[in-house]
Amino acid sequence: MEDNQPTQGLRCRPGDLARVIYSTNALLIGRVVFVEGWGANGRWNVTLLGDPAFGIQRRTGRPIISNKTTFRDSSLQPLNSPRPWDADSIGIVAVRV
């Protein structure tokens, strides 16, 4: 992850699965992505699950077909997948003996 990542207020984290809830490309809405990490452009670097998508490269404006893209945090809805480093998210309960 880049050093410029905001530490609070983000809905997604690296390793999350998330659903695309906003995109200028209507065909991407509803797609599930794997959140890889925070990019230098202030967006999440993600991999689209399933088929690649057609898009336009941000820097060059050239057409591209790829499973790799970026999204703003507000464009993604995290799916509640277990996170091994978060005891609460995997249902570990303290038990008194």
DSSP readout, 34-78?
Answer: EEEEE-TTSSEEEEESSS-EEEE-TTT--EEEESEEEE-GGGEEE
Q: Give the pLDDT confidence score for residue 64 in this predicted structure.
A: 93
Mean of pLDDT over the chain: 81
For the four alpha carbons of 65, 66, 70 and 73, in that order, the dihedral sign comes to: positive
Q: For the chain, what is the total number of helices (H) and then of strands (E)?
A: 0, 7
| CA separation for the pair 56, 63 (Å, rounded) | 4
| CA separation for the pair 34, 14 (Å, rounded) | 8
Region 69-90 average pLDDT: 72
Over the stretch 19-38, which tens digit does the pLDDT of each residue have?
A: 999 998 999 999 999 999 99
Beta carbons of 62 and 1 less than 8 angstroms apart: no
Query: Considering the entire predicted model, what is its pTM?
Result: 0.73
pLDDT band at residue 6, thresholds of 50, 70 and 90?
low
pLDDT band at residue 89, thresholds of 50, 70 and 90?
very low
